[in-house]
Homo-oligomer: A and B are copies of this chain.
Amino acid sequence: MPISFAPPGDKAALEEGLAFTPKFDRDGLINVVAVGAAHGEVLMVAHMNAQSLARTLETGEAWYWSRSRQALWRKGETSGQLQRVVEMRTDCDQDALVIRVEVGGDGGCCHTGRHSCFYRVVAATDGSSVRLAADA
């Protein structure tokens, strides 16, 4: 039977219940944080819609929704950097997900070639503007 998601219940059900009723936003999306399974470092932040979330649960591989392409996005399909989901968690109000992933291919995640998308630190203010510092 294909996976489907019931609409969110009341506050008590959302916070303390054991039914997974993800709260999609008005675009039908939920925030997803992918962390590396080995060390727990944050790799990327992306979105899923109900279809990609169901497919992720069915296949054990991360499928996102690409907002720029408005299309289902099997992460790593072209790069080989597939993400095998070893754990998925949801938060108190079920409007965000954290997935722990084992990354295929060369183990990278970011389309720029870095291991993680978060390769720059917000470093210092310079007058009224703010500078970034890249990882070595």
Assign chain A's interface to a size class. 35 or more
Min C-beta distance of A3 to chain B, whole Å: 6
**In whole angstroms, how far apart are the Cα atoms of A129 and B22 in the complex?**
11
The answer to whether B92 and A111 touch across the interface, beta carbons within 8 angstroms, is yes
Name the one of B17, B35, B114, B125 contacting A42, with C-beta atoms under 8 angstroms.
B35
Q: Is A117 an interface residue (CB 8 A)?
A: yes
**In whole angstroms, how far apart are the Cα atoms of A122 and B30 in the complex?**
14
Min C-beta distance of A84 to chain B, whole Å: 15
User: How many copies of this chain are found per oligomer?
Assistant: 2
Given A3-B128, A91-B118, A132-B90: A15 touches B112 (CB 8 Å cut-off):
yes
The answer to whether A18 and B133 touch across the interface, beta carbons within 8 angstroms, is yes
Pairs A-B, 3 closest by C-beta atoms: A91-B117, A45-B96, A20-B130
Question: Which A residues contact B (CB, under 8 angstroms)?
Answer: 1-6, 15-20, 31, 33, 35, 39-42, 44-45, 57, 87-92, 96-98, 110-112, 114, 117-122, 125, 127-134
- What are 8 contact pairs spanning A and B, CB under 8 A? A4-B128, A5-B130, A20-B132, A33-B45, A57-B122, A89-B122, A91-B110, A92-B119
Could you list 5 further interchain pairs (A-B, Cβ under 8 angstroms) beyond the known A20-B122, A97-B122?
A: A3-B130, A20-B130, A57-B122, A92-B112, A92-B117
